[in-house]
Amino acid sequence: MRTPDHVIDLQTVISVFRDDPRIYNSISYVVCGALLLVWSVGTLRLSFSRQRAWLALAAVAALAMLPVYHRAHDARLLLITVPACAMLWAGGRPIRWVALLMTTAGFIFTADIPLSILAILTNNLHISTAEVSGQILTAVLMRPTPLILLAMGIFYLWVYMRHDSANHHWRSTESQGNAAAPTTA
């Protein structure tokens, strides 16, 4: 029976393309290790702030589930992302919509009922994995959770690394080179 996998590690997605433990474990460890290394270096180098701490926790909550075996019920750790999402939402910038989308997708695709509905909908779906297009479709339809967690982890890691704690907002690419002129009342 081919159903959406309730195991949420990155190996389940990579194994669709190459079902060899040496390959899917290695790729998973390299991808997750690189992202967690960026997170670790940022954590050691960036100054502490409450806002940055919530962003750091949101990033690591999603990324830490990917390299090792986890079931969907372990994804309750994603509740840690709510304060970071709320903080970005309160900032009023366009990034708040991306934060809401990523966080909501993370909750939906790790919840028991949506995963069960997806299992029912894809139970009789027979996709040939002989070609790359079938493998991609299988990964997206039958194992969406690790992909959502990866996207969510990368998003929050990006915001964490770009966050400006002195001004309590994230730095946009355009504003890095230009200092804002002070306004007078």
Please tell me the predicted confidence (pLDDT) of residue 19.
87
Beta pairing class for 163-164 and 169-170: antiparallel
- Over residues 82-99, the pLDDT tens digits come to 999 999 999 988 999 999
Residue 156 pLDDT class (50, 70, 90 cuts)? very high
Q: In terms of DSSP H, where are the helices of 46-131?
A: 50-63, 81-90, 95-108, 112-122
- Across residues 47-53, what is the average pLDDT? 90
Greater pLDDT, 12 or 103: 103
- Across residues 41-50, what is the average pLDDT? 90
Give the DSSP letter string of 10-22: THHHHHHH---HH
- Token pair belonging to 86: 């709320």
**To which residue do tokens 């992202």 refer?**
35
C-alpha to C-alpha distance for 185 and 87, rounded to whole angstroms: 28
Please tell me the predicted confidence (pLDDT) of residue 139.
79
pTM of the model: 0.79
**pLDDT of 1 over the 70 cut:** no
Residue 164 pLDDT class (50, 70, 90 cuts)? low
Please tell me the predicted confidence (pLDDT) of residue 171.
52
Q: At what angle do helices 144-162 and 21-45 cross, to 10 degrees?
A: 20
Please tell me the predicted confidence (pLDDT) of residue 178.
43
What is the DSSP code (8-state) at residue 93?
S
